[in-house]
Structures are given as C-alpha cells and as structure tokens.
Amino acid sequence: MSEALTLLATGLGVGLHSATWGMFKDAPHEGFTVRTYVRSPLIAVVIALALGLSGAIEATSPAGIVVLFGVTYGIERALIEVYKTFLREQDQSKYTIPMQLSIRGKVVERRGVRLAAGAAYFSAELALLFGAIQLQKHAPAPGLLVAALVGSVGGWVSAFGGAWKDAPIEGFSLPKFFRSPLIAFTYGLLLGLLTRNYVLLLMGSIGYTVATTETYKTFFFPNKNRGKFMEREPEHRDWLRIRWRFLPLYVAIWIAVVTTGAVAILGRAGPPA
C-alpha cells in the first residue's frame, strides 16, 4: 500500500471512529444527518494527508501509522471543540450542559466575547505546542517517564476544560477529573516506545485519550444520557436501535489500531524516532 493510501485510510479510520461514537450518543436526541456524520471523516482525512505529505509523520511503518492515528485524532477533536465552543451559532436550549462557551453554566451570548475567548484558547494551545518544541531542544533524548509526562499534558487540558463546562451542572467529581490525565500519561508511556517527538507525544496521547474515554462512556453505558442531554428523553427513539448497526465498524477500527500498535511495539528495533 502506498503511503498516500495509508494516510487516506488512517484519516478515514480516525474520522469514522470519532463520528460513530458521536452519532451513537447524539442521534437518539438530535436525529441522524449524513452531513454531520461525514464531517469528521473529511476533516480527519485532510489532517492525515497534511501530516504525512508535509513530512511531519512518516506513515511507512506500523509505528508511524499508530502515531499518525493518535495525532490526527487529537487535532481533529481540538478543531471540532474549538468550533463548537467558540464559533458555532446554535440554540443551546436543547442542552442541559451548554456546548457553547459558558460561565457557571450560563451561555456567553455575545459573539465578540466568544471569539476573543476562542482566540485566547487557541493561542494557549499553540503555546503548549511551542513549549513542547522548546523542551525538545533541551532534552533531545528523553526517557519513557518524561515522554509519559509530556503525553499527560493534553489530559490535564481536557480535565480542566471538562470541569469548567460540566461541574456547574453535574458537580465536581475528583475521579472524573483525574481520569483523562492518567489515561493520557499511560498513552504517553506507550507512544514513547514509538516516538520521542514531544509534539507528536502530546497530540497523540490526547487523541487516544479521547478515543478511549468516549468509547467507555458511550458503549459501556449506552442507555445513560450524556451530560448535555441529562434528564431529557430521546426524540428519535428509532435510533436507539439503528445506531447499533455501526458498532461492527467501530470495533473493527479499534481492532486494527490495537493490532497495529502491538506489531509496532513488539517489532520495534532500536530507539524510537
């Protein structure tokens, strides 16, 4: 398989994985639209192609594919969340927990304020990446523990963001707050076996963390309403049944990722790139 096809397949896998858990939890409440479902696959394919063709990641080996999957996932989720939180104009009355920027559970209605906050948030994200680059220059050969700590950074960002959004409505949960950092730390450790590039570790770890936590919350508790639809009955009840038809695709993607990861880790020779 040529590298271009590998990039295309990896990006498509990322997008379908993300779109499927999103559809599974949202379709019974909001209905299903092809436009919404194909959004993540299209964005993820573009990201994967850009990463590969620019030389940022070489997807010519199992290790490269595993790293590419996680980094593409992390970037795709970051872009979608920035769009939903700061840019999208949408009626928030249907949500128990607002999806747009909110303060103590109250939606920030002024678009200019949201855009300014979005610019600040995006700048902070870029600052984290810049910090990772600078740290790389001073520690060109990090150990696994350092790699895991770098990987955990994205988990802390997710934890604080989730607490900001959910805690005013659901209350603060200490185990939930530490869940993402611990999972991201673990993925940092695993990805540290495949790459020692700090930026790739950071973005890849948060990508796999999102994929893991959303799988757990969505498919292990399928009948539990997610926070944004808490205490709301599904309006499209037929999708409580139809959505299960997408599960084989979702499982197949996980199997492919885990298998490729096992091959990459067991077959690695020499220090990570």
In a domain, 31, yes or no: yes
Domain presence at residue 248: yes
Which pLDDT score is estimated for 208? 96
d(CA 5, CA 81): 28
Residue 172 pLDDT more than 70?
A: no
Domain assignment of residue 84, yes or no: yes
Nearest to 209 by CA among 249, 265, 161: 161
**What residue type is 150 in one-letter code?**
V
Residue 154 lies in a domain: yes
CA distances from 170 to 10, 28, 222, 229, 247 (A): 36, 21, 19, 12, 29
How far apart CA 122 and CA 119 sit, in angstroms, is: 5
Per DSSP, the residues of 15-68 read: HHHHHHHHHHHHHHHH---HHHHHHHHHHHHHHHHHHHHTTSS--SSHHHHHHH
- Per the structure, the complete domain to which residue 22 belongs is given by 3-266
Q: Is residue 70 part of a domain?
A: yes
Neighbours of 126 (CB within 10 A): 10
Q: What is the pLDDT of residues 132-147, one digit of tens each?
A: 888 888 766 567 777 7
DSSP 115: H
Q: How many CA atoms lie within 13 A of 53 on its CB side?
A: 11
Q: Does some domain include residue 272?
A: no
pLDDT in tens, 19-76: 999 999 989 988 999 999 999 999 999 999 999 999 889 888 999 999 999 999 999 9
For residue 211, the one-letter residue type is A
Token pair listed for 222: 């399928």
Phi, psi torsion values for 152, nearest 5 degrees: -75, -15
Report the domain count for the chain.
1
Helix (H) / strand (E) containing 103: strand 102-103
DSSP code, position 107 = E
Q: pLDDT tens for residues 10-31? A: 999 999 999 999 999 989 988 9
Separation in Å, CA 185 to CA 53, 58, 100: 29, 24, 28
Q: Residue 186: count other Cβ atoms within 10 Å of its Cβ.
A: 18
Which pLDDT band, with edges at 50, 70 and 90, does 175 fall under? confident
Classify residue 209: in a domain, yes or no.
Answer: yes
Beta bridge partners of 102: 107
Q: For residues 167-186, give the mean pLDDT.
A: 76
pLDDT for 151 equals 80
Q: What is the pLDDT of residues 91-112, one digit of tens each?
A: 766 666 666 767 766 777 788 8
Question: Counting Cβ atoms within 10 Å, is residue 207 exposed (0-12), middle (13-18) or buried (19+)?
Answer: buried
User: Residue 89: is its pLDDT beyond 60?
Assistant: yes
Does the residue 115 lie in any domain?
yes
